[in-house]
Structure 1
Amino acid sequence: MASSSPPSLTLGYVPGGTPAKWARNWAERHPETPLQLCALAAAEAAAAVRAGTVDVALLRLPADTSGLAVIPLYEETTVVVVPADHVVSAVDAVTAADLTGEPVLLPLDDVVAWADAPGTPVDHRPETTEAATELVAAGVGALIVPQSLARLYHRKDLTYRPITDAPACPVALAFPEGPQPALLEEFIGIVRGRKPGSSRGQVEPAPKRTAREKTLAKQAKRAAAGKVARRPGRTGRGR
């Protein structure tokens, strides 16, 4: 008789995502069921869920989330990355006006949805945010990113400061719409902070979203619709 593979769950996550805590909690509650972690490019995360490459994904909004259920989780601070000896390093935070005329790098995987972002775009667009960080260190220009990416690609010769009037960078959990398998329901419970005894061995309906989560989801949908209308097939800030 052919043996079947043991059940598992695959969690995709974008650069800057931090699924480690969820993975630890999952391992403690379900040691018999592996949680596979799969790194995804930000632009491909939603499509990976729709295609079934991953069961659930930690991704950035706005994104094309058609066919997916989305739970907004938190909003990241937007920061500017500059060389350590840049004038920006002398202050604790900056405004968009402080970056007027500043050369700014726009990587092709840019994830900050800021149509009127400050600065003067550098002609060369590096392939990735990581590559753009190398160019910041070389003095080519500044870089505007979510704080987690500034931390992920941090170097000793760079620093970053929050931009107080920049839009935040939303992060959400996305999974296919409709009834969910028990394992996915369990994982959603962990993400939402459900206690171990409340979901173990049970298939519960997905937790209802709070009013703030509903508002964030609506804002993300509107932003995604506007972004697609302005720049079909592209990600990042409109210019």
Structure 2
Amino acid sequence: MTGSEESPSFRLAYVPGVTPAKWVKIWHERLPDIPLTLVQAAAAEAPELLRAGGADAGLVRLPVDRDFFSAIPLYTETSVVVVPKDHLITAADEVTLADLADEVLFHPLDDVFDWAAPPGEPAFERPATTPDAIELVAANVGLLVVPQSLARLYHRRDLTYRPVVDAPQSSVALSWPQEATTDLVEDFIGIVRGRTVNSTRGRTSSTRAGDGRPADGRTAASAGTSQSDKKPRRAEQRGGRQQPAAKSSGRGRQARAGGAGPAAKRGRPRRRS
């Protein structure tokens, strides 16, 4: 893994509709000495920006080339149709693609959906960008299906939107080149995954963080004392005790008193033959 010393700052690309503010805030709290620079890019251009090294990682729309990029899916957006506020569709809480079959639908050149067969009636031309298509919707020329975040980003007072329950959906992911997984990229991965500041990869469960104690609460010194170390101590204690005196037999008492045995009987000496 490339060391963080090769990347004194962290560059994060993001596409329209994505709001990285909450993750950027956590970054500044945890890594105040490492600046994070935001790089805005169009959805279609973000992968090439990362491939060329213009950013360290990016919040992009899927799909991406998984042979070159790593990607962590973050969320999937609701798809909505943007309509004028006085349009008949606003009478419903949600619609289907079949409800849009007779409507003129715009498919801008930067459309984030990969339509197999675009719904609705084709427009006289394809707008260059999503903001251009929004302007045409406001002019009552047609309608536009987009992820909900884009409908909010380009909100106008004279427009509203309704969910399209069976439309394709757009997923947002954190992505970066596989060969450029730096320490700072790992730090940002931890942030978007919700790891706490004390989370550490590879930490063993037998040692608590910070105090070096084993999981059972013993100190390292007491935990390292084996049973074989304790046995000699008990043996020494037993050896230091006074052993009870052995009971003396009767003969022993007589010996200490000076007697060698019972006294010989007195009588006349035998004659020699």
Same fold (TM over 0.5): yes
Residue matched to 1:157: 158
**In the alignment, is the contact (CA less than 8 A) between 1:26 and 1:190 conserved in 2?**
yes
2-side partners of 1:197 and 1:135: how far apart?
51
CA distance in 2, matches of 1:97, 1:63: 30
CA contact (8 A) 1:185 1:203 kept: no
What is the alpha-carbon root mean square deviation over aligned residues? 1.9
Measured in 1, the distance between the counterparts of 2:57 and 2:89 equals 39
Unaligned runs of 5+ in 1: 205-239
TM-score, normalising length: structure 1: 0.79
Q: For residue 47 of structure 1, what is the aligned residue in structure 2?
A: 48
Aligned residue number for residue 101 of structure 1: 102
Deviation at 1:65, TM superposition (A): 4.5
Partner Cα separation in structure 2 for residue 88 and residue 75 of structure 1: 24
Q: Paired residue for 1:192?
A: 193
For residue 66 of structure 1, report the CA deviation from its aligned partner: 3.8
Aligned-residue offset at 1:41: 0.7
1-side partners of 2:189 and 2:48: how far apart?
A: 19
Paired residue type of 1:161: R
1:126 and 1:162, CA in 2 relative to 1: closer, same or farther beyond 3 A? same
Deviation larger for 174-183 or 21-30: 174-183
Contact 1:182 1:203 in 2 (8 A): no
Q: In structure 2, the residue corresponding to 1:54 is in which secondary structure?
A: coil
**Is 1:71 the counterpart of 2:78 in the alignment?**
no
CA drift of 1:24 comes to 0.3
Q: Helix, strand or coil for the counterpart of 1:168? A: coil
Give the equivalent residue in structure 2 for 1:138. Answer: 139
CA deviation after TM superposition for structure 1 residue 6, in Å = 7.8
Q: Which residue of 1 aligns with 2:171?
A: 170
Structure 2: unaligned runs, 5 residues or longer? 204-273
**1:96-128 CA distances to partner (integer Å, 9 max, x unpaired)?**
110012101111100012312321120211111
Say which SS state the counterpart of residue 73 (structure 1) adopts.
strand
User: Are residues 179 and 37 of structure 1, via their aligned partners in 2, closer, same or farther at CA, if it must alter by over 3 Å?
Assistant: closer
Give the Cα–Cα distance (whole angstroms) in 2 for the partners of residues 46 and 157 of structure 1: 34
Supply the distance in 1 between the matched residues of 2:194 and 2:66 (Cα, whole angstroms): 24
Instruction: Show the counterpart of 2:116.
Output: 115
Structure with bigger gyration radius: 2
Alignment coverage as a number of residue pairs: 199
Residue of structure 1 in register with 2:83 after alignment: 82
Q: Which has the higher contact order (CA 8 A, sep 6+)?
A: 1
> Relative to structure 2, which stretch is displaced further, 57-66 or 190-199?
57-66
Shift of 1:130: 0.7
